[in-house]
Structure 1
Amino acid sequence: MPTPTTALRPLPFVPEISLFLADSSAGLFDAAGGEFHSDEPPPFWAFAWAGGQALARYLLDHPHVVAGRRVHDLATGSGVAAIAAARAGAAEVAATDLDPASVAAARRNATANNVTLRDQPTDTIDVLLAGDVFYSPTVATEMTQRLRAARRRSTEVLVGDPGRGYFPERLFERVAEYSVPVPAALEETETLITLVWRMR
């Protein structure tokens, strides 16, 4: 899939952070001529999804949640939640993703925000972040298993979710709610009510 054109832009909802993002009029598959190619993941990293933005806002407003702690941002995308954790005083932050282009984008965005992200988490993680990861039945099942495994190891698990439809709400308690501005080309709306949840 061709790489979309990006530019460094501050996030309206999290203005403390700037990311290299596609233009707000761009859709997820625009760089591929509107086509999906299963051999390469779509460039999720070129957009600031609502779940990641909500997590970022929550961490910057409640820095004690991550201050001095080891944090892992799972399926990091653009890295926005990881960057917020680092800005909020986390001892170290790892940002991982199945897509190597996403990890590269997160590192580039981290550099632009004067923070450092690890490529891999250490053996012990205090806080696990996951933004916008319940977007399909298959991914939701896999993510639920990973998050529950982390919680069994006493890791605090925080999720940002805009109500994609596959979120296992029964496993979580609500901690914050935001109205997050999003590109209409992506979401067919200009704002999404997005919640931050803590796994029980």
Structure 2
Amino acid sequence: MTRSEPDSRDSADSAAGFVRAHTRLGAPPLVPEVRVHLAEEAIAVWEATERQVGRSGLAPPFWAFAWAGGQALARHVLDHPELVRGRRVWDLAAGCGVVAVAAALAGAAEVTANDVDPWAGAAIGLNAEANGVPVRVVVGDVLTGDADGAQVVFAGDVFYDRPMAARVLPFLRRARRAGAEVVVGDPGRAHLPGEAFEELARYGVPVPRELEGVDVKPTRVLRLP
């Protein structure tokens, strides 16, 4: 499926303008300490993305929502700042960047947020600015690497389909072998390799019913041993 990429003629400013135009600055329910740009209606922002690009069949605008796995991770980081304080953090498939922002607020020495979607990059930049924290944004596919020497690696809601899971797990394992603490947030996605992880915490995460079919999603925070 084609990613929701802005036209190559679009500047970073126009991408940021698109994010501002189709979202509102608010707080995810589980992490009211964090302000992020969020869409009010999933279908509306998806259709707007397709009109902007001029083609249909794009992947969903994951950057426009605070997904359950990311909210749970962000809550866990804010409740346990010792996990990131003074450390280099990598937020994989960061989406809106709620985890990256939480890590920066909790005292991380350096935070990198990565996503393949250029509009996610714009959203992360805006969200970091809204919270007054520095977050380095890396746009592109990094799954052949190992998180570039990060000491803590977060991945929220990344096991939603088989191809993604098949690429993410080796990345996380390489990061772990390189010495990083690897922590994921997952609301029971079908392709989570549960046997690979151990549980740290559980949360009931309020979510949009139109996206998840429920009002509260039980979500676990897990670490890679």
* TM-score (normalizing by structure 1): 0.92
Residue identity over aligned pairs, in percent, reads: 50
Structure 1: gaps spanning 5 or more residues: none
Asked whether the equivalents of residues 162 and 194 of structure 1 are also in contact (C-alpha less than 8 Å), the reply is yes
Instruction: Give 2:109's aligned residue.
Output: 91
Counterpart of 1:150? Answer: 175
User: How many angstroms does 1:33 deviate by?
Assistant: 7.5
**Change in CA separation of 1:63 and 1:182 when aligned onto 2, cut-off 3 Å:** same
Q: Could you tell me which of 21, 24, 43 is aligned with 2:38?
A: 21
Q: 1:95: Cα distance to partner?
A: 0.3
- Is contact 1:140–1:166 with CA below 8 Å preserved after alignment? yes
Any idea what SS the aligned residue of 1:129 has? Answer: strand
Aligned to 2:216: 191
Counterparts of residues 31-50 of structure 1 (less than 5 Å): 31-32=46-47, 37-38=56-57, 40-50=58-68
Q: Give 1:27's aligned amino acid.
A: A
- Contact 1:78/1:105 (<8 A) preserved: yes
Question: 2:29: which partner in 1?
Answer: 12
User: Which residue identity lines up with residue 111 of structure 2 in the other structure?
Assistant: V
Q: Indicate conservation of the 8 Å contact 1:28/1:43, yes or no.
A: no
Q: How many Å apart are 1:27 and its aligned residue? A: 2.3
The number of residue pairs the alignment matches comes to 197
> Hey, which bits of structure 1, 4+ residues long, moved more than 4 A?
1-4, 33-36
- Structure 2 Cα separation of the partners of residues 30 and 186 of structure 1: 13
Whether the 8 Å CA contact 2:93–2:158 is kept in 1: the answer is yes
TM-score (norm 2): 0.82
Which residue of the other structure, out of 142, 165, 180, is the alignment partner of 2:190? 165
Asked whether the 8 Å contact 2:155–2:184 carries over to 1, the reply is yes
Cα deviation 1:67-118 (Å, max 9, x = unaligned): 0000000100000000000000000000010111111101111100111101
TM alignment of 1:168-183, pairs within 5 A: 168-183=193-208
How many Å separate the matches in 1 of 2:197 and 2:106?
23
Other structure's SS at 1:154 match: coil
